[in-house]
Amino acid sequence: MDNVSVITVFTLSGLRDIANYRVTLFVLTLLCYCVIWLVNLTIIVTVIVDKKLHEPMYIFLCNLFCINALYGSTGFYPKFLSDLLSSFHHISYEGCMLQAFIMYSFSSCDLSILAVMAFDRYLAICRPLHYHSFMTMRRLSQLVCFSWLTPFCIFSINIPITSRVKLCGINIQRVLCPDWLIVKLACPEVKSNFLML
């Protein structure tokens, strides 16, 4: 345990074998990232501007596909694009934790928004006469807040727990930092404690 150093940087080794295709991958990835931003911002502005689209289903779709897609893609693409241009693929410890938080909360937000959308459709189909009295703007905003805050609260607990783990390695064999790969780099005595939990 005495020879464990404090790790401040991780090496991402998922892009080792693409040296010949870096420029092509960079251009395609940048194009994809720009299209994601353009399409999602267009949909968000359309839903905001058009008063006919101020219905619960459109607001949920805007949250699910547009705002959450922008959030998740911003957590991944900028670092990935910079890694495609550089020969060294490093990420700081804090950056790795932030990326893990964004990726997990992004995917959990997708699931929670889908669950809220399913509830909305259940009300619209099974209780059509009560739908508008139940699905008010106040209730809609509560459901949207629930679908965003629940994943953030869950992973606000998960990431600090992971950050306390003593690590014995720095090589992550991916292009991003998932939480479980950080735990895999833990020292053997720490891994045994995680297995017991």
What is the residue extent of each domain of the chain?
17-157
pLDDT of 176: 82
DSSP SS3 for 10: strand
Q: The whole model's pTM is what?
A: 0.81
- The residue type at 13: S
pLDDT of 189: 61
What backbone phi and psi angles, to 5 degrees, belong to 4?
Answer: -80, 120
* CATH superfamily placement of domain 17-157: Rhodopsin 7-helix transmembrane proteins (1.20.1070.10)
Q: Check the CA dihedral 54-48-102-178 and report its sign.
A: positive
Confidence category of residue 194, pLDDT binned at 50, 70, 90 = low
Confidence category of residue 123, pLDDT binned at 50, 70, 90 = very high
Structure tokens at 116: 């809220």
pLDDT at 113 over 70: yes
39-73: pLDDT as tens digits: 999 999 999 999 898 888 888 888 878 899 999 99
Structure tokens at 182: 């950080």
pLDDT of 2: 44
